[in-house]
Amino acid sequence: MKATNTDHSLTNIYYYGSDKILVAVDCIIFGFDIIEEKLKILLFKRLVEPFAGQWSLVGSFVRKDEDISLAASRILFELTGLGEVFMEQLRSYGKPDRDPGSRVISIAYYSLIQINDQLNNLHDAQWFEIKDMPKLVLDHDEMVRDAQEQLKQNAIRRPIGFNLLPEYFTLPQLLKVYKEIYQKPLDDRNFRKKILSMDLLIKSNEKDKSGSKKGAFLYKFDKEKYQNLVKKGFLFEL
């Protein structure tokens, strides 16, 4: 079907007669503090009015020709210097008055990073335990709640907890990650059985002795094997 002139003018009305809106991307950045064994969130102090100086998620406007997921990556990179990190779209927030500064639709992403990576601490960023979080600007508290819920849900279906740990990690560490994500106690024997039965961990001969005298064996997540299983449509239940 070929376009006619009439169609084109319709198109013009359709596209150019419609309202353009500021679109932001905000990131909920989760990290696992290996020392304190706590799941934390990275917050920073908002630079602009309204609410300058108050705690906020990191965010930025989407640029005219920028992919939204790339915008999210850009923000994360600017703040942390990290390139390849686990990041997924949460959902969009679009109440007309959610930002008193202007009408802004925000697309939230959450990401899982290793906390001890050094931050480009340009922005007065700081890690908070979720229960100790200050009140955030705009609807960012809601975003955090939603992200936490999403993280729980997704951690059941896919092995994503690894993203919060360094390449090599111990099973006790991984157990603690999952305890923090689910916010409930987990039996260590059952956890080991389940996680090892997935057959996605590569055991090394090294031990990490930082946590105990005996030392715990270091494991590595088998990304390739995982990708292959995903390709075959395999379903996980953690």
Contacts with a copy of itself, residue ranges (CB under 8 A): 1, 3, 7-8, 10-11, 14-16, 18-23, 47-50, 52-54, 61-69, 71, 89, 91-92, 94-96, 101-105, 107
Residue 67 binds which entry of DNA, a copy of itself, none, with Cβ cut-offs from 5 to 8 Å by kind? a copy of itself
Residue type, 44: F
202-231 mask for DNA (x: CB under 7 A)?
A: -----x-x-xxxxxxx--------------
The yes or no reply on residue 235 touching DNA (CB under 7 A) is no
The yes or no reply on residue 2 touching DNA (CB under 7 A) is no
* Shortest separation between residue 23's beta carbon and a copy of itself, angstroms: 5
Residue (of 66, 31, 63, 29) closest to 44 by Cα position: 29
* Shortest separation between residue 110's beta carbon and DNA, angstroms: 25
* Shortest separation between residue 28's beta carbon and DNA, angstroms: 27
Quote the crossing angle between the two packed helices 188-197 and 171-182, to the nearest 10°: 110
Q: Are 74 and 111 in contact (CB under 8 A)?
A: no
Nearer to DNA, 36 or 188 (CB): 188
Nearer to DNA, 192 or 225 (CB): 192
| φ, ψ dihedrals at 183, nearest 5° | 55, 40
CA angle 77, 69, 100 (to 5 degrees): 85
CA angle 176, 177, 180 (to 5 degrees): 85
Among 155, 170, 178, 181, binds DNA (CB under 7 A): 170
The yes or no reply on residue 166 touching DNA (CB under 7 A) is no
Distance CA 218, CA 187 (A): 20
- Residue 60, classed as helix, strand or coil, is strand
The yes or no reply on residue 100 touching DNA (CB under 7 A) is no
